[in-house]
Amino acid sequence: MQRRYLSLAAAGLATVMTLTLTGCGSGPGDGDVTLKLVAADYGDSAANSSQHYWDDLTREFEKKHPGIKIDVDVYSWTDVDKKVEDMVKAGKAPDLAQIGAYADYAARGQLYSVDKLLSIPTEADFTQSLADAGEYQRVPYGMPFGASTRRLFYNKKLFAQAGITSPPKTWDDIAQDAKLLKDHGVKMPFALPLGPEETQAETLMWMLGGGGGYTDSIGKYTLDSPQNVKTFEWLQKNLVAKGLTGGDPAKVNRADAFQGFADGEVGMLNGHPTLMKQAEAKGVDYGTTALPGSNGKAKATMGVTDWMMAFKQPGHRAQVGQFLDFVYSKKNVLKFSSTYGLLPVTVSASQEMMADDRYSKLHGFLEQLAGAEFYPADKTTWPLVSKTLKAKMGAAVEPDGNPSAVLSTIQNTADAADNAASGE
């Protein structure tokens, strides 16, 4: 706090400093501040809604900081991003939003940069790959909140029945194992969810396996690169055309694929940690392994993180900073991660999870986090590109599809959006 007070005083903001000191005081008064937080719901029922997590956390924080109240509204992932967008457009931005994307708000100058909010130890504790993913034009605005990586899940019982003794390490292994599973009556040997729910995730995982990705080292879209085209031609020829995906991938959503795996009808699929709980609830004996690639293990796994951000409009920078330092304490990060089957976003909480055998099934996912590749969330054009991927990629791998043409179409959309965003 001393560092923050000194910086405010140096700027001559005496009135703000007075408010900050009052907000940090030990009793109610004219300087009391109520912070508004809008957050996403990670639960799958009312019983484990994120509202319970935030209620417990804010109750503890308010006891330690009587001058600061926290008002939290939790919305489903279907609604939360639009809710925040509407609040900002109406001139009533919340102090804090924990949602799916930050870049648009950062580009419009509406967010505090992370260094203006967090103490130095808190900011330094973020896992570096996640902190880097939260930068817009090399300045951090998005604070990671809840992370996951992807691994290939396989049904051990179905594998044994098909005579498969080890999980696949390459794409050729996937194709061979999928054929064996199909020959033994498995309904969906390899679930390939390229339906509109989360196509952008499945697409990136396969691109990484083929040595490609969404962007190059300087952030330019490379959707129609030779590696990416080759990847989806392989999928079309070796899995879809041979009936090894159990149907049309364009009509299979992630939720459908996960449910099929939990029901014992899927032999293999790419999944994230929450699938473990879903499979265990149905008694499925499963294993996980690193994502296979074209010639061995994929160059990286896909990582996903959601974002916390702080809006300038309400003007409660110091109090927001105090609250965020509490939110990102090791204890609270670990509690959130363990409650919802996610990976910690800080080094301290990650180390504690890795040292605890209770979380052994998450260790394989966590070990991959530092080298994971993320969506290009720093690009304001990413939401449009993601939407286009959801609409078009499923058709690319159908027997009569044209992966090269589809990827070129999406590339043209991405280039036009980038050009418009840069004023060209």
- Other beta carbons within 10 Å of 78: 9
Per-residue pLDDT band for 423 (boundaries 50, 70, 90) equals confident
Using DSSP, state whether 408 is helix, strand or coil.
helix
By CB atoms closer than 10 A (0-12, 13-18, 19+), residue 316 is buried
User: What average pLDDT does the structure give for the chain?
Assistant: 91
Close Cβ partners of 156 (under 8 Å, ≥ 6 residues apart): 285, 286, 287
Q: 340-379: per-residue pLDDT in tens?
A: 989 999 999 999 999 999 999 999 999 999 999 999 999 9
Return the pLDDT at 424.
53
What pLDDT is recorded for position 258? 96
Query: Is 310:317 a contact under the CB 8 Å cutoff?
Result: yes
Asked whether the predicted pLDDT for residue 2 surpasses 60, the reply is no
pLDDT of residue 3: 32
Taking residue 198's Cβ as centre, other Cβ atoms within 10 Å add up to 18
CATH class, range 151-300+381-421: alpha beta
| CATH number for the domain formed by residue range(s) 35-148+304-374 | 3.40.190.10
Residue 401 contacts residue 395 (beta carbons within 8 Å):
yes
Provide the residue ranges of all domains of the chain, joining segments of one domain with +: 35-148+304-374, 151-300+381-421
- Which pTM does this prediction carry? 0.86
Q: State the pLDDT confidence band at 45, using cuts at 50, 70 and 90.
A: confident
Q: What b-and-e string marks burial along 282-302, b requiring 16 or more CB atoms within 10 Å of the CB?
A: eebebebbbbbbbeeebbbbb
Question: Does the fold of domain 151-300+381-421 match that of domain 35-148+304-374?
Answer: yes
Residue 170 structure tokens: 């390459």
**What is the tens place of the pLDDT at every residue in 98-139?**
999 999 999 999 999 999 999 999 999 999 999 999 999 999
